[in-house]
Structures are given as structure tokens and as C-alpha cells.
Amino acid sequence: MSKNEAFENNGKKEQGTKGQLKWTDKMDNAFLQAMITQQDMGNRINGNFSTQAYNDMVEELTTKLQMDLDKNHLKNRLKTLKQRFSQWYDLFRGTSLSGFSWNSNTKFIEAEDEVWNRLIER
């Protein structure tokens, strides 16, 4: 399989946009588990994974996901995950954006109109 393809759960190949690797939930879950393992092993120092950690994760994920991955794929995905986390964290915990909440029944973010208006004005 080429670096620009990912398997979905149904085994169908899917090409990412602009020739980029498209990460699936299965891939993200495997990557998150690999990062936790590396951190538990002490291979994350001052918030950064060591070269050995990346090498180990590339080897593990290449085998587990049956894909040709490299260190740059993992670094780029980690950057994306951090950005997404930061956006959600700011939305729920940001000092100027309090008032948002997650409705577990509807699976939507909820807020009063004035809270949404404050966000839009930002």
C-alpha cells in the first residue's frame, strides 16, 4: 500500500485530499495507544517524543495497520491532534468563552445565544 492510502474498516482504500494521508479513527486510536506506551516507557521528555520513540511507533503502526508510515506522518498527525485539542479546550475552558456545554443526549455543543454571539465577535 502506498503512503497516500488508508484502509477504512470495510477494507476499501481511500485517498486523502491533496495526496495527503487520510487518518481514520482506527489509525488515530492505534497512534494514541502507541504514544501512551512510549510515554510510559519514558520516551517522552519535556513534552517531546525521542527519536527512538518515533522509530518504535513507526514500526508498531506499520505492522499493526499494515501501512507504510514514516516519522513525518506521525509528527504531522500529532500536530493536528494538538491543534484540535486546543480548539476544543479553548471552546469549553477558555476564559472568555465560558457558557458552552456538551449535551450527551443530542451529541451537540449547546450555549445561550449571547454566548454564541461572544464567540462570533471574537
Q: What is the mean pLDDT of residues 8-29?
A: 67
Q: Are residues 16 and 47 in the same domain?
A: yes
pLDDT of residue 17: 52
Give the pLDDT confidence of 31-74 residue by residue, as tens digits.
Answer: 999 999 999 999 999 999 999 999 999 999 999 999 999 999 99
Q: How far apart are CA 117 and CA 4, in angstroms?
A: 40
- Could you tell me if 77 and 98 lie in one domain? no
61 in the same domain as 110: no
6 and 66 together in one domain:
yes
φ/ψ bin of 112: left (φ > 0), alpha (ψ from -120 to 50), beta (otherwise): beta
What's the number of domains the chain is made of? Answer: 2
**pTM of the complete model:** 0.66
Domain membership of residue 108 (yes or no) is yes
Strands (E), the chain: 5-7, 13-15, 44-45, 48-49, 101-103, 108-110
* CA distance to 92, 95, 100, per residue, from 89 (Å): 5, 10, 11
Residue of 99 and 81 predicted with greater confidence = 81
pLDDT level of residue 88 (50, 70, 90 thresholds)? confident
pLDDT tens string 90-114: 766 665 556 777 788 998 888 888 8
Give the integer Cα–Cα distance in Å for 16 and 82. 20
Do 109 and 74 sit in the same domain of this protein? no
Residue 87 falls inside a structural domain: no
